[in-house]
Amino acid sequence: MKKLLLAAFAMLCILPASVVAQGVLDQVNDPFFGESCTSIMVGKKASTDGSVITSHTCDGRYRTWLEVEKGQKFEKDTTMEVYKGSLKTETAWDRRKMNVVGTIPQAKETYAYLNTAYPCLNEKQLAIGETTIVGPKELVNEKGMFLIEELERIALQRCTTARDAIKLIGKLIKEYGYGDWGECITIADKHEVWQMEIFGEGPDNVGGVWAAQRIPDDHVGVSANISRIGKIEKKNKDYFMYSDNVFSVAKNLKRWDGKEEFKFWKAYGKVDKPFKIREFFILNALAPSLKLDFEADELPFSVKPDQKVSVRDVIALYRETYEGTEYDMTQNLKVVKKKYNDKKEEIGADTIIAPNAHPWPTRDHRNLRNYLKEGTIEYQRTVAVAWCSYSHIIQLRDWLPDEIGGRAWFSFDNPAQSPRVPIYSGTTKLPESFNFCGQKRYREDAAIWQYRKANKLATLQWQKTRKGMMEEVAYFEDKGFSDAEYFEAKIKKLLEEGKKEEATTLLNKFTKDFTGATMLRWKELENEYWGRFGLGF
């Protein structure tokens, strides 16, 4: 009987893999398609402490399970499998709608890396952010082997520098083909950060085209679902890299006439101009002296910030919803609040933002408000969105050992509400609840739901709950940075003494303990909100 049960279980594990994964072209039916990520980059001379920063919000219904994949050594002539369909799995062992689409030669040795939906950090302080930049449908060739998440995975397994990662990705695309929509990956190492934009080569060729531009060390950059690389300076190899077919494909597909100045975003991006609200807002916030114009045809690829940027500044930008600006979606959601004296006599009135107004209105909410009064809410794509799966801001620091030099400030759900947990390059084990995705259904064992419940309840009366929730966010942010200062010094000393195993144990416990503390407090917030709003919202 036991053997029969095991056989049946094995069949269940095998059968889903035969289901065809969602095609890349089918993604246009996803309501979040093309509006799904934001990546901010900071060069080492633009940051307050000399760290290089890249970052990522994974916005949409993507998997929220994550784990640390160990580095391995392999014998000669081994191969590794390449997958499609991994972005929406429920666990690391879930193979439903996930297909093996090919194999490539395995490296002799691979590095450990943080396996998120879009893999992001390895043990050698190589980090990657990502944003989908879509591009024209006619460039997509689904016969290409590689989707962007697999290219990120392999680069983190095999590379230690951004330049090597770009070269490897370019080589894989040329040899095996790129089968995804237009994508931007923001690749950083301990010394520099690059923006790499990739597109398919069209239906007739299984290949791809790409260009990469380096963010100057004293600049900041942003990618938010729009191609931004413009003129390619062929002779400036310290700042530009590109595929050998980048110009010929544009000409062959009649996307460039070969006469006017070539701009990558114009040839491949399918946009009127290489920015929208997020790029403008972030660059303008960091360099207000430039007086950037939202109505301009083009913004600088990157800018030198007026003041050096700390990682906490970047974290704050990821909470941004434009409140208090002309793009504020709550500015017309007001009510009259009457004032009374001790005798309960009306003595005046104030017009205030409605207690239930918040900067993440759903389409239904906007439609209702605009039906009652046209123009009440003009939708703006904010940096922080309620439909975020997870986000991270990654620092890379060359003055520290790799084990603690790479540091990801990670959060689940809405980045404007959730606390951030530190995960280091040397971390080898994550909390148990990180093993489960909570996007397909409610799962008590999935980490995201430990934050999402309080976040969503808070949103229902945001003007009343925001102050308290932001105090908790600030508390854990302060705690994270103050604890890390002492903790990193301790880990560094252990590594210098050759006590790597002990250092690793402490790294794992640090993330686990910090996660547990934040989850407990968000559970308390959830209970508090139910107590306050249990009779109605």
Instruction: Give the pLDDT confidence of 60-88 residue by residue, as tens digits.
Output: 999 999 999 999 999 888 999 999 999 99
Residues 6+ apart with CB under 8 A from 120: 56, 113, 114, 127, 128, 129, 152, 156, 392, 394, 408
CA distance 308 to 305: 6
CA distance 164 to 212: 12
pLDDT band for position 32 (cuts 50, 70, 90): low
Residue 142 confidence (pLDDT) above 60: yes
Q: Give the pLDDT mean for 364-386.
A: 97
What are the two backbone dihedrals, phi and then psi, of residue 480, each rounded to the nearest 5 degrees?
-60, -45
Query: CB neighbours (10 Å) of residue 241?
Result: 19
CA angle, residues 182, 388, 509, in degrees to nearest 5: 110
Q: What percent of the chain has pLDDT over 90?
A: 90
What is the CATH architecture of 34-328+380-441? 4-Layer Sandwich (3.60)
**Per-residue model confidence (pLDDT) at position 23:** 76
pLDDT band for position 29 (cuts 50, 70, 90): low
CA distance 68 to 475: 27
Estimate to the nearest angstrom the gap between the alpha carbon of 38 and the chain centroid. 6
Q: Give the pLDDT mean for 11-25.
A: 48
Residue 4 confidence (pLDDT) above 50: no
Q: Token pair for residue 34?
A: 């093309």
**Per-residue model confidence (pLDDT) at position 11:** 38
Range of weakest confidence among 34-38, 445-449, 522-526 = 34-38
Residue 476 confidence (pLDDT) above 90: yes
DSSP string of 466-498, one letter each residue:
HHHHHHHHHHHHHHHHHHHHHHHHHHHHHHHTT
CA distance 453 to 528: 12
**Per-residue model confidence (pLDDT) at position 536:** 84
CA angle, residues 461, 462, 467, in degrees to nearest 5: 125
**Per-residue model confidence (pLDDT) at position 254:** 95
pLDDT band for position 328 (cuts 50, 70, 90): very high
What are the two backbone dihedrals, phi and then psi, of residue 257, each rounded to the nearest 5 degrees?
-85, -5
Residue ranges, comma separated, of all CATH 3.60.60.10 domains in the chain are 34-328+380-441
What are the two backbone dihedrals, phi and then psi, of residue 333, each rounded to the nearest 5 degrees?
-95, 80
CA distance 169 to 157: 12
CA distance 87 to 96: 11
Q: Give the pLDDT mean for 404-409.
A: 98
Residue with the two structure tokens 């995975």: 153
pTM over 0.85: yes
The rounded mean pLDDT for the chain is 94
Residue 48 confidence (pLDDT) above 60: yes
pLDDT tens for each residue of 379-394:
999 999 999 999 999 9
Range of weakest confidence among 28-37, 187-196, 346-355, 526-535 = 28-37
Residue 9 confidence (pLDDT) above 50: no
CA distance 185 to 127: 10
**Per-residue model confidence (pLDDT) at position 77:** 85
**Per-residue model confidence (pLDDT) at position 18:** 37
Residue 417 confidence (pLDDT) above 80: yes
Residue 281 confidence (pLDDT) above 80: yes
**Per-residue model confidence (pLDDT) at position 57:** 98
